């Protein structure tokens, strides 16, 4: 590329050259952006298609498995391998194991919504007297405890952490809010989780992960 001696160019020629360089850089940037956007669209479309396929496959498997494992549970109960009311059990055969675990689902009724609103108001007043303000660990822990999950529900274990703070806050208003949380607690049904394992050549069971984020 031939070098240009700027000292030999007039001001007008230098200005024209600057404009040309600026337009060249802008055009190059536009080409890069278009190439990136095209690659992003292609990549996202490919991932989207594969995610949809996996979602359908797992959904079909889940529907089939839930029906079949319940039918087999009834067979086990009839045979006497488990009691008729037993929901959790383990099956193992030829290096493969199925584990069914159940747990009580604990939730809160509408009174918990009021308790959460009152707690936020209490905490906002409380941090005004704290040197650390909203950086105070107790404030952050309490606010974290009332974050809701993807279904919009409060987490029982997180709310239980709030009860442990009663002595530290040592405030009748906070205690009253905790009592409202306790009153709003309800127990609804049973959650069932399924786990699958394979046995290695050394006889060690290892979990077969179905969840993408646990692989």
Let me know whether 185 and 111 are in one domain: yes
Confidence of residue 19 (pLDDT cuts 50, 70, 90): confident
Q: Is the pLDDT of residue 215 over 70?
A: no
Pair 182, 116 in one domain: yes
Average of per-residue pLDDT across 165-178: 93
What is residue 77's predicted lDDT score, i.e. its pLDDT? 96
Q: Are residues 67 and 114 in the same domain?
A: no
**Neighbour-count burial for 17-56, b at 16+ CB within 10 Å, e otherwise:** eeeeeeeeeeeeeeeeeeeeeeeeeeeeeeeeeeeeeeee
Same domain, 77 and 113: no
Domain limits for position 177: 106-189
Residue pLDDT, tens place only, 74-121: 999 999 999 999 999 999 999 999 999 998 888 888 999 999 999 999
pTM of this prediction? 0.60
What's the pLDDT score for residue 56? 94
123/160 same-domain check: yes
d(CA 104, CA 156): 11
Does some domain include residue 148? yes
Same domain, 72 and 113: no
Number of domains in the chain: 2
29 lies in some domain: yes
Q: For residue 151, which of 117, 105, 211 has the smallest C-alpha distance?
A: 105
Does residue 79 share a domain with residue 124? no
Same domain as 81, residue 133: no
181 lies in some domain: yes
Contact in structure between 174 and 166 (CB atoms under 8 Å): yes
Q: Are residues 68 and 138 in the same domain?
A: no
Q: Is residue 144 part of a domain?
A: yes
Strands of the chain, DSSP E: 89-93, 96-108, 185-199, 205-207
**53 within domain boundaries:** yes
Q: Which residue has the tokens 């009592």?
A: 179
Instruction: Write the pLDDT tens digit of every residue in 42-72.
Output: 999 999 999 999 999 999 999 999 999 999 9
Q: Does any domain span residue 129?
A: yes
Query: What span, in angstroms and rounded, lies between the C-alpha atoms of 93 and 91?
Result: 7
Same domain, yes or no, for 122 and 176? yes
For the chain, give the mean pLDDT.
89
66 and 125 within one domain = no
Q: What is the mean pLDDT of residues 157-185?
A: 92
What was the pLDDT predicted at 6?
A: 67
Do 110 and 184 fall into the same domain?
yes
Residue 210 lies in a domain: no
Q: Report yes or no on 136 lying in a domain.
A: yes
């Amino acid at each position: 590329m031939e070098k240009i001696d700027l000292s030999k160019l007039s001001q007008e020629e230098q200005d024209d050259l600057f404009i040309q360089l600026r337009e060249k850089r802008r055009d190059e940037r536009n080409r890069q952006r278009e190439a990136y956007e095209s690659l992003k669209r292609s990549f996202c479309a490919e991932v989207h298609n594969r995610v949809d396929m996996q979602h359908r496959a797992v959904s079909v498997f889940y529907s089939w498995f839930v029906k079949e494992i319940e039918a087999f549970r009834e067979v086990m109960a009839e045979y006497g391998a488990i009691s008729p009311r037993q929901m959790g059990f383990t099956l193992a055969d030829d290096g493969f194991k199925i584990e069914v675990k159940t747990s009580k689902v604990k939730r809160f009724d509408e009174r918990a919504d009021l308790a959460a609103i009152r707690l936020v108001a209490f905490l906002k007043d409380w941090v005004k007297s704290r040197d650390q303000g909203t950086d105070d660990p107790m404030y952050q822990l309490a606010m974290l405890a009332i974050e809701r999950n993807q279904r919009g529900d409060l987490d029982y274990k997180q709310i239980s952490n709030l009860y442990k703070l009663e002595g530290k806050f040592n405030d009748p208003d906070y205690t009253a809010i905790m009592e409202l949380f306790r009153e709003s607690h309800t127990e609804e049904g049973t959650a069932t989780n399924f786990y699958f394992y394979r046995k290695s050549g050394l006889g060690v069971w290892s979990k077969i992960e179905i969840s993408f984020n646990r692989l």
